[in-house]
Amino acid sequence: MTEDAPKKLFIKTYGCQMNVYDSERMAEALGAKGYVTTEVAEEADMVLLNTCHIREKAAEKVYSDLGRLRPLKQAKPDLKIGVAGCVAQAEGEEILRRMPLVDLVVGPQSYHRLPEMVEAKGKVIDTDFPEEDKFDHLPERKALRGPTAFLTVQEGCDKFCAFCVVPYTRGAEVSRPVPRLLAEARDLVSRGVREITLLGQNVNGYHGEGEGGAWGLGRLIREMAGIEGLERLRYTTSHPNDMDDDLIAAHGEVPQLMPYLHLPVQSGSDRILKAMNRKHTAEEYLRLIERIRAARPDILLSSDFIVAFPGETDRDFEDTMDLIREVRFGAAFSFKYSARPGTPAAEKPELPAELADARLHALQALITEQQHAAQKAMVGRQVGVLYEKAGRLPGQMVGKSDHLHAVHVQDPTAKVGELVQVRIVEAGPNSLRGERLQP
Ligand code: SAH
Ligand code: SF4
Ligand code: F3S
């Protein structure tokens, strides 16, 4: 290898969309140090695992993946292995102890220090929560993947739900200032992006500095909707207690804001919601959904659920099923409770695994039923579809509808990035089929 041959970087991303965004930014930061990304771990000079600590399985996966890198490291002693993300933050030096092949551990708030860290000799670790905003110190975004992009507007969480590691791994809620976000959004649009998803662990708790003081998410969305060429806006993930009037109204008033909202409720039992420290009741959630639907009647709702939280009785679980029946979700993620070290809920006795399995199974069956019903209800309707890639069949395009359904359309002359009007003609189990309406 000559001195200036580019070094190859392999990144594996676990967990949430915020990690996807962070991985892109880390790739760019290392790009400035001469790294180009590769999809093949075997040819990499550096392997970076951007990890997730949310459930035990997610965290343990990282260790088994590190174990599998051992032969690679033996064959290529210069190979650098880095662990980033929420496991890095939560476990820090423990990772170096358990996995001596790791060279570098970097927490989510220190990614701007990564370029120096890779040049350091020996093992390095940085899990600080520095004052400065990492995104201000990372290079501009270059690589884009198609017409959609994520934009992190807020990070961290002050909610401290009793089961959750995020407040510990990502730190306190911090909102990025409005002008930086508008500049980043304009730059994305100038390079072909037509849909932006605003990201944050508590995105609707956004309160970034803008003209005249702190702006809420509704105001930020209204301002972004004014960017010429930006056709679609979404945001995720929200907490029910931060859905303010202005944001709800924006769903009825801003055409670019798409009719889909992920609003995790976790449980439909007031007793369990209280034990989870969610700070709202099932009834309050239902009333909130009513207000959102009044603003945007065709909005599709999705949620996260945890089953078998410590102390959850059959009655509590039935309350959750009742809430699901009442809301009628278009989609949902559901998980068995996983005890996380350091969280208050981890102190409490866990429920038997078989019970958790049975509840998860029942809940998922109900959600699947509702998901299919929502898909079927789209048949005959006209929706926008933003083409993201070519389909598997010749002449086929695949994109997302306004309601975030995957839609296949036979459209041989179309290009990726086109936003077209489509009539939905068929609902399959995982995607819809549409026919393009001629403009
Ligand atoms: N507000 C966050 C939620 C992050 S975690 C966001 O921005 O996405 C995503 C989901 O994981 C949560 O909504 C919850 O349903 C689930 N989850 C979190 N901690 C969990 C745990 N200890 N066990 C099982 N599921 C958990
Ligand atoms: Fe975790 Fe709750 Fe914060 Fe979501 S709101 S990140 S579930 S502590
Ligand atoms: Fe996982 Fe951290 Fe995201 S724990 S879900 S990667 S914020």
E-assigned strand segments in 35-147: 35-37, 46-51, 80-84, 104-106, 124-126
∠ CA 324-302-426, nearest 5°, is 100
Over the range 76-95, which residues count as b (16 or more CB within 10 Å of their CB) and which as e?
A: eeebbbbbbbbbbbbbbeeb
Q: Which residue, 63, 55, 62, 108, is CA-closest to 333?
A: 55
Residue 319 DSSP SS3:
helix
Task: Give Cα separations from 411 to 163, 327, 396, 438 (angstroms).
Answer: 47, 36, 6, 11
- What's the half-sphere exposure (Cβ side, CA atoms, 13 Å) at 64? 6
pLDDT tens per residue, range 31-63: 988 999 999 999 999 999 999 999 999 999 999
CATH code at position 423: 2.40.50.140
For ligand 1, atom 1, name the residue with the nearest CA. Answer: 201
CA of 6 to the centre of ligand 1 (A): 38
CA of 262 to the centre of ligand 2 (A): 13
Alpha helices in 38-161 (DSSP H): 56-68, 70-75, 85-91, 93-98, 114-119
Taking 70 as the threshold, does the pLDDT of residue 69 lie above it?
yes
Averaged pLDDT for residues 389-409 = 97
Q: Which residue, 283, 284, 276, is CA-closest to 304?
A: 276
* 277, 399: one domain: no
* 225, 313: one domain: yes
* 336, 422: one domain: no
Any known ligand binding at 159? Answer: no
Q: What is the pLDDT of residue 133?
A: 76
Q: Tell me, yes or no, whether 2 lies in a domain.
A: no
Residue 247 DSSP SS3:
helix
Distance between CA atoms of 242 and 220, rounded to whole angstroms? 15
* 372, 390: one domain: no
Strand partners for 426:
433
CATH code at position 45: 3.40.50.12160
Distance between CA atoms of 141 and 134, rounded to whole angstroms? 14
CA of 156 to the centre of ligand 1 (A): 13
CATH code at position 166: 3.80.30.20
* 201, 314: one domain: yes
Q: Tell me, yes or no, whether 149 lies in a domain.
A: yes
Q: Is 378 in the pocket of ligand 3 (CB under 6 A)?
A: no
Distance between CA atoms of 428 and 349, rounded to whole angstroms? 42
Residue 117: enclosing H or E segment and its boundaries? helix 114-119
| Minimum-distance ligand 2 atom for the alpha carbon of 304 | 7
Q: What is the pLDDT of residue 5?
A: 80
CB 232, CB 256: distance < 8 Å: yes
Q: What is the pLDDT of residue 248?
A: 98
Q: What is the pLDDT of residue 137?
A: 72
Q: State the CB neighbour count (10 A cutoff) for residue 407.
A: 25
Any known ligand binding at 164? Answer: yes
Contacts of 274 (CB under 8 A, 6+ apart): none
Any known ligand binding at 402? Answer: no
For ligand 1, atom 7, name the residue with the nearest CA. Answer: 201
Q: What is the pLDDT of residue 4?
A: 67
Q: Tell me, yes or no, whether 215 lies in a domain.
A: yes
Any known ligand binding at 390? Answer: no
Averaged pLDDT for residues 197-217 = 97
Q: Which of 12, 18, 164 to mutate to test the pocket of ligand 3 (most atoms within 8 A of CB)?
A: 18
Q: Tell me, yes or no, whether 1 lies in a domain.
A: no
Q: How many domains does the structure of the chain reveal?
A: 3
* 269, 417: one domain: no
* 386, 346: one domain: no
CA of 198 to the centre of ligand 2 (A): 17
Averaged pLDDT for residues 103-125 = 93
Taking 60 as the threshold, does the pLDDT of residue 389 lie above it?
yes
Domain boundary among 104, 126, 148: 126
Distance between CA atoms of 246 and 65, rounded to whole angstroms? 45
* 296, 172: one domain: yes
pTM (2 d.p.): 0.94
Q: What residue type is assigned to position 46 of the chain?
A: M
| Minimum-distance ligand 1 atom for the alpha carbon of 338 | 23
Residue with tokens 């789209």: 378
| Minimum-distance ligand 3 atom for the alpha carbon of 108 | 2
Q: Tell me, yes or no, whether 114 lies in a domain.
A: yes
* 110, 190: one domain: no
Averaged pLDDT for residues 222-227 = 98
CB 178, CB 220: distance < 8 Å: yes
Any known ligand binding at 161? Answer: yes
* 100, 228: one domain: no
What is the domain extent for residue 116?
7-126
| Minimum-distance ligand 1 atom for the alpha carbon of 339 | 22
Q: Is 204 in the pocket of ligand 1 (CB under 6 A)?
A: no
Domain boundary among 91, 126, 161: 126
Tokens coding 435:
């026919």
| Minimum-distance ligand 1 atom for the alpha carbon of 340 | 22
Q: Tell me, yes or no, whether 351 lies in a domain.
A: yes
Please report which confidence band the pLDDT of residue 135 belongs to, taking 50, 70 and 90 as the band edges.
confident
Q: Tell me, yes or no, whether 171 lies in a domain.
A: yes
Tokens coding 76:
């290529």
CA of 173 to the centre of ligand 3 (A): 14
Please report which confidence band the pLDDT of residue 26 belongs to, taking 50, 70 and 90 as the band edges.
very high
Q: Is 202 in the pocket of ligand 3 (CB under 6 A)?
A: no
Taking 50 as the threshold, does the pLDDT of residue 2 lie above it?
no
The DSSP output letter for 6 is P
Taking 90 as the threshold, does the pLDDT of residue 1 lie above it?
no
Distance between CA atoms of 306 and 322, rounded to whole angstroms? 15
* 201, 105: one domain: no
* 348, 396: one domain: no
Average of per-residue pLDDT values in the chain: 95
Domain boundary among 345, 361, 376: 376
Distance between CA atoms of 228 and 226, rounded to whole angstroms? 6
Taking 50 as the threshold, does the pLDDT of residue 22 lie above it?
yes
Q: Give just the sign of the alpha carbon dihedral 112, 118, 120, 126.
A: positive
Distance between CA atoms of 232 and 248, rounded to whole angstroms? 17
Contacts of 383 (CB under 8 A, 6+ apart): 401, 402, 403, 405, 407, 421, 422, 424, 434
Dihedral of the CA atoms 425, 426, 427, 432 (nearest 10)? -70
Averaged pLDDT for residues 352-378 = 98
Q: Is 19 in the pocket of ligand 3 (CB under 6 A)?
A: yes
Name every protein residue with a CB atom under 6 angstroms from any ligand 2 atom. Answer: 157, 159-161, 164, 166-167, 201-202, 239
Counting Cβ atoms within 10 Å, is residue 172 exposed (0-12), middle (13-18) or buried (19+)?
exposed
CA of 177 to the centre of ligand 2 (A): 22
Q: Tell me, yes or no, whether 249 lies in a domain.
A: yes
CB 268, CB 320: distance < 8 Å: yes
Q: What is the pLDDT of residue 142?
A: 67
